[in-house]
Amino acid sequence: MGALETAVAVLTRAADAGACVVLSAHVQPDADALGSTLALAEGLRRRGARVTPTFPGPFVLPASLAWLPGADRLVPATEVPTHPDLVVGLDAADLRRLGELGAVLTAAPASLVVDHHASNPGFGQVQLVDPEAAGTVVLVADLLAGLGVELDTDIATCLYAGLAADTGSFRFGNTSPATHQFAARLLATGIDHARISQRLFDTAPFGWLALLSLATGRATLERATGRGLVWTWATVAEAEGHGLAGDHLEALVDVVRSAEEADVACVLKGTPDGAWNVSLRSRGGTDVSAVAIAMGGGGHRMAAGFTSHLDREQTVAAIRARL
């Protein structure tokens, strides 16, 4: 039995038994993680499972994702059932990305991990991990098909949000003919794809412009580092100073990566506890997942990240040395 069939069997048993299932996205979930979690939660709910969708603290949803169908049913990690029958981790490259829910998954009598990160070491009792998938939502769609759940506009909206985000609106190298065929299936349900993209990518408070100006004004280009490195930084406190939630820092790397002189783009995001969450992007010539893994993180060849407890200059120096 293949990985997909095994995963479907695990979910089918849980649904048929009306089991208590906890589904968790990774910490600070993006559209792929959250869309995957909400879509699978709704599918299992329709099949009879008792479902609790969640993600690790801080339990704060970015405004760009809070509108997704089913988001109002998310439960803080501190309120999940203490003894679930099954725990499903979604889009988490390793156990640490599940935060305090990692212990819940490890202790559960049954667990399933659904992910598409090449750096995933394999954890949980059953793994459906496919680095060739454009996003975890693609694997969730396969699971829903195996469960006999038909796609409607609510589920398709969640899946499309994750697909559009993880393919960069179908601009990234992980886009294939199959990706467009999957998108066509989702569009056929009647979703408003233009509105979804607008909410995900083209809607932000006015203060975002000031934060963007601050970060791009600090950008440094190092042509001689690897195949070229462009990097900048900003902090959660600075975002809040412009009336923004800290999650707005996540979008900075998609602007910085446009510098044609650098193969690698890097954004350091300062947290209130003094750590730096680092986003890395490659234009194709550098495997940034290797850098991230060496620094205790993970991801894909073209997009990866890690958390550093060094100071800012030491963190950049470590990245520079790896490149």
Q: Are 187 and 239 spatial neighbours (Cβ–Cβ below 8 Å)?
A: no
DSSP 37-106: HHHHHHHHHHTT-EEEEE-PSS----TTTTTSTTGGG---GGGS-SS-SEEEEES-SSGGGGTTHHHHHH
| pLDDT confidence of residue 88 | 98
What percentage of the chain has pLDDT greater than the value 70?
100
| pLDDT confidence of residue 184 | 98
Give the residue-averaged pLDDT of 294-322.
94
Write out the two tokens for 104.
């819940």
Range in 32-36, 56-60, 113-117, 209-213 the model is least confident about: 56-60
Query: pLDDT category, 305, cuts 50, 70, 90?
Result: very high
Strand order in the sheet with 126-129: 50-54, 20-25, 86-90, 111-115, 126-129
| pLDDT confidence of residue 139 | 98
| pLDDT confidence of residue 87 | 98
> Does 210 score more than 90 pLDDT?
yes
Residue 162 backbone dihedrals phi, psi, to 5 degrees: -65, -40
Strand order in the sheet with 264-270: 220-222, 229-235, 264-270, 276-282, 303-308, 298-299
| pLDDT confidence of residue 233 | 98
Residue 105 backbone dihedrals phi, psi, to 5 degrees: -65, -45
Query: pLDDT category, 319, cuts 50, 70, 90?
Result: very high
> Does 118 score more than 90 pLDDT?
no
Q: In the 8-state DSSP scheme, what is residue 247? A: G
Give the residue-averaged pLDDT of 266-290.
96
Give the residue-averaged pLDDT of 190-208.
95
| pLDDT confidence of residue 5 | 98
Q: Are 191 and 160 spatial neighbours (Cβ–Cβ below 8 Å)?
A: yes
pTM: 0.92
Range in 38-47, 168-177, 185-194 the model is least confident about: 168-177
Q: Which helix (H) or strand (E) holds 129?
A: strand 126-129
| pLDDT confidence of residue 1 | 78
Give the residue-averaged pLDDT of 82-92.
97
Q: Tell me: the pLDDT tens digits for 230-259?
A: 999 999 999 999 999 998 999 999 999 999
| pLDDT confidence of residue 269 | 98
> Does 265 score more than 90 pLDDT?
yes
Query: pLDDT category, 63, cuts 50, 70, 90?
Result: confident
> Does 98 score more than 90 pLDDT?
yes
